[in-house]
Amino acid sequence: MEFGFELALCAALEARTDWVLARQLGGGVTDPGGRVVDVVGVVPGPEFDDRARITDRSIPGVAIESAVGVGEPRRPRDALDCHPERVDGVVDAAVDAGFFSAERRGGRRYVRQTTRYPDDWFGRLVGVENKPDLGRPGDLRRQLRLDVSLALFDEVWLATESHVTGAHLNRIPEPVGVWRFDPETGERDVVREAASLPVDGPGVELLDERPLRTDVDVVSADAKRRRRRRIAERAYGKGWRTYDFPACARCAATDDARPHCEHFDAVVDPASDCGADCPGFRPGDAADVDADALRDARTPWRRDPPGVSRRQAGLDRFR
C-alpha cells in the first residue's frame, strides 16, 4: 500500500511542480541513514541550468568540497578530505560525471574541476513523510520530531490518505504541513500549511530514545549546509523511478511508468511483490520503459547533457 501511494504522490508532484524528485534518501547528518525520508523534492534555484549542463548523475560531495579547483591540477590525495582508500573511487566517479578531468604527470594522476560548482542550483529542499493510514502511525511522531529539530529541509510535509482529525494534528509537530492525497486521482489537498524551518542555523539530531534517556547531537550550520547539498545531488542523480519491471506478462507500465499489475489491479513493488511465487505470475518480457526519457521530458532534469569540459588557457605547461 505504501509503495503504490508513494509512487502516485511522486507522479502527481512531478506533473504539477518543477521539483526534481527522489525517494528513500537519508535525512540525517550525524547518522545519515538513521532517518530515511520517503520523498525529497529539490526546488530549482537560479543556477539550476548551470548544474544541469554538467552531468545527469550525482556529483560526489567529497569532490565538490575538495581543494581541487578549475586552475592548476592537484594530486587527489592532497586535495580530497576522505579516507585514502576512498580517494580513487571518488575521483573516478567525479571524472565519469564530467566534474573532474584527469591527467598524468610523472606516472601520477592529477585532477582539476572542469567548471565552477554552482552552489545556488537548488533553492529549497522539501521532505515528505508518507503515511497513508494514520491509524497505523508507527514511528511517525519521532520521525517528524527529528525533521523539525534538525531542520535539514526547508519544509516538511506529511502525506496521508486518511481523514485528518484535530486529534491527528495535535500529535504532529506544528511546523509540519499535512496533505490529504488521493492516489487514484492525484488530488492533493492542504490540511495544514508547512512552516519554513531554520535551515541556515544549527540543528539538533535525535539519535536514540530510551526510557529516561534521549541521545542527541548538535549539528552545526556548516554541516547541515554540506549535507543539504549532498541530498540535493543524490536526488538529482537518483530520481524516483528506481525499480525494475518484472518479467511478467501481467505487469505493465502506466503512462508515468509505474508498475501496474493486471492480476491485482494495483501498482505493485516488483522487488517484494513479484516473482514466480506470485499467484498472478505469468512469464513474459519485462515492460519496455525508458524512465530517463520520461524524467527528461517531465522535469527540469536533463538527460545526457553535453558537459562542460573545456581546455583552459595555460594547462599545457602542466602536462
Note whether 84 and 103 are same-domain residues: yes
pLDDT band of residue 17 (cuts 50, 70, 90) is: very high
Render pLDDT for 36-53 as a digit per residue (tens, 0 to 9).
999 999 999 999 999 999
User: Does the pLDDT value for residue 314 go beyond 80?
Assistant: no
Give the residue numbers spanning the domain of 95.
60-115
Query: 24: helix, coil or strand?
Result: strand
Note whether 101 and 125 are same-domain residues: no
Note whether 107 and 123 are same-domain residues: no
Instruction: Establish if 294 belongs to a structural domain.
Output: no
Q: What is the largest CA-CA distance in the chain?
A: 70
Render pLDDT for 99-149 as a digit per residue (tens, 0 to 9).
999 999 988 999 999 999 999 999 999 999 999 999 888 889 999 999 999
Give the gyration radius of the chain's Cα atoms.
Answer: 22
**pLDDT value at residue 316:** 37
Note whether 148 and 36 are same-domain residues: yes
Instruction: Establish if 286 belongs to a structural domain.
Output: no
Note whether 202 and 97 are same-domain residues: no
Distance separating alpha carbons of residues 315 and 72, to the nearest angstrom: 7
Note whether 72 and 211 are same-domain residues: no
Residue 46 carries which DSSP code? T
Residues above pLDDT 70, as percent of the chain: 97
Distance separating alpha carbons of residues 117 and 114, to the nearest angstrom: 9
Instruction: Establish if 138 belongs to a structural domain.
Output: yes
**pLDDT value at residue 318:** 37
CA-closest candidate to residue 55, choices 225, 292, 244, 257: 292
Q: Which residues pair with 253 in a beta bridge?
A: 259
Residue 283 carries which DSSP code? B
Do the beta carbons of residue 317 and residue 283 sit within 8 Å?
A: no
**pLDDT value at residue 312:** 41
Note whether 39 and 92 are same-domain residues: no
Q: Which residue type does 239 have?
A: G
Note whether 108 and 201 are same-domain residues: no
pLDDT averaged over the chain? Answer: 94
Tell me phi and psi for residue 307, to 5 degrees: 85, 175
User: Does the pLDDT value for residue 211 go beyond 90?
Assistant: no
Note whether 66 and 210 are same-domain residues: no
Render pLDDT for 146-199 as a digit per residue (tens, 0 to 9).
999 999 999 999 999 999 999 999 999 999 999 999 999 999 999 999 999 999
Note whether 103 and 229 are same-domain residues: no
**pLDDT value at residue 138:** 80
- Look up the pTM and report it: 0.93
User: Does the pLDDT value for residue 317 go beyond 50?
Assistant: no
Instruction: Establish if 123 belongs to a structural domain.
Output: yes
User: Does the pLDDT value for residue 319 go beyond 50?
Assistant: no
User: How many distinct structural domains can be found in the chain?
Assistant: 2
User: Does the pLDDT value for residue 315 go beyond 70?
Assistant: no
Instruction: Establish if 11 belongs to a structural domain.
Output: yes
Note whether 192 and 104 are same-domain residues: no
